[in-house]
Chains A and B, each alone.
Chain A
Amino acid sequence: MEKIANIMVPVSGHKIDEEAIGLACRVARAGKGRVYVVYVIEVTRTLPLNAELETEVKKGEVILDKAERVAEEVDYEVESELLQAREVGPALVDEAIERGVDLIIIGVPYKKRFGEFNLGKVAPYMLKNAPCRVWLVRQAISD
């Protein structure tokens, strides 16, 4: 496997994010790489893309602060970024391309929709469109 220098971890505020960040830090440490934690605010079409969304920004900052603390616990430093976009998936792929990311690690909560396990919208989009490796960390069913 090639050396992994840049890892991106998209976060949504779910508990599984912590596992994804922990894993990213361990992998990055081995390759002396960087970890980017990204939170995307989805802006509805009723608002311009650069609208000031105080509540959403605050929520995003709380989630990113938490991510940084999780990284500190494993004694690793991460860079965090808050983005505003129309759709989360394409925004993350664009960010990954821009930053030259080698690996994306996404935490996926165990969710059911109409009684069936559902990956949601973002993870399948990343799997299909991300130019780099994508690792999924699925939450344990018992959690």
Chain B
Amino acid sequence: MYIIVAGGGKVGYYLAKELLSEGHEVLVIEQSAKKCEQISEELGSIALRGDACETTTLADAGMARADMVVAVTGDDEDNLVICQVAKKKFNAPRTIARINNPKNEPIFRKLGIDVTVSSTNIILEHLEAELPTHSVVHLLELRAQGLEILDIKVPPNSPAVGKLLKDLPIPANSVVSLHLSLKHGPSIPKGDSVIEAGDAMVVVTTPENEARLKEVLTGR
């Protein structure tokens, strides 16, 4: 595969290094002459000095034959422009953008960027799993369907404790798909499943319904 990496910072450098070791053809576009020189010295002739936001630079980089473009500069705006130009002007089959501000993620998706990676969100997800104060853990995002899978722990003070699942006001477009009971182990939840403190529920829902679902199952 021919992969163009826009941005020769630490992320771009190590990404290029890994991709090269996997046998891919890689080109790193970087504005800084110093970084370009460093990349060339350490990884070979794989650096092109220029502004990846410019069509001419992308054309020189051979974007027309690229299988994938990965925009990993430190600026969300630049990453968006790079992916959009690659997509619209050069019909790049796959665009991946790094997002620094998680709030920009929906914009990137709306504008047709295939994959977005937010390091802030990734760290947050790990924090959620590690910190006992976080009752909701994001397990998986099903972007194409606009859904997500959550692991919600039921705290002792939750209004759901002692109630039947069918009696809980579970929001629309949400499915409780797994009941992880402390007493009885995992089971496919039914309407008469009793929710107890310390149980965990694996739920498929929409991002819009996440807050309501959390309120129903945790009371927070």
Contacts and interface: CB of A to CB of B under 8 A. Distances in A.
B62 A45 contact: yes
Contacts of A87: 45
B45 A46 contact: no
Given A49-B25, A90-B40, A44 B45 contact: no
Interface string A37-59: 00000001111110000000000
B45 A45 contact: no
A83 interface: no
Contacts of A48: 2, 25, 65
Contacts of B40: 90
A85 interface: yes
A44 B6 CA distance: 18
B45 A90 contact: yes
Nearest to A88: B45
A86 B45 CA distance: 7
Contacts of A49: 25
B59 interface: yes
A45 B48 contact: yes
A49 B64 CA distance: 15
A44 B2 contact: no
A49 B45 CA distance: 12
B44 interface: yes
Nearest to B2: A48
6 cross-chain pairs, A with B, having the tightest CB-CB distances, nearest first: A45-B62, A86-B45, A87-B45, A46-B62, A90-B45, A45-B61
Contacts of B2: 48
Interface of B: 2, 25, 27, 40, 44-46, 48, 59-62, 64-65
A38 B23 CA distance: 27
A86 B46 CA distance: 8
Interface size bracket, A side: 10 to 19
Q: Is the interface of A mostly helix, strand, loop or mixed?
A: loop
B44 A90 contact: yes
A18 B40 CA distance: 31
B62 A47 contact: yes
Given A45-B27, A48-B25, 16 more contacts: A44-B62, A45-B48, A45-B60, A45-B61, A46-B59, A46-B62, A46-B64, A46-B65, A47-B62, A49-B25, A85-B45, A86-B45, A87-B45, A90-B40, A90-B44, A91-B45
Contacts of A44: 60, 62
B25 to A, nearest CB: 7
Contacts of B27: 45
A85 B59 CA distance: 19
A48 B65 CA distance: 8
6 contacts: A45-B27, A45-B60, A48-B25, A86-B46, A90-B40, A91-B45
A91 B44 CA distance: 9
Most chain A CB atoms below 10 A, which of B40, B45, B62: B45
A85 B93 CA distance: 26
A47 B61 CA distance: 9
Contacts of B64: 46
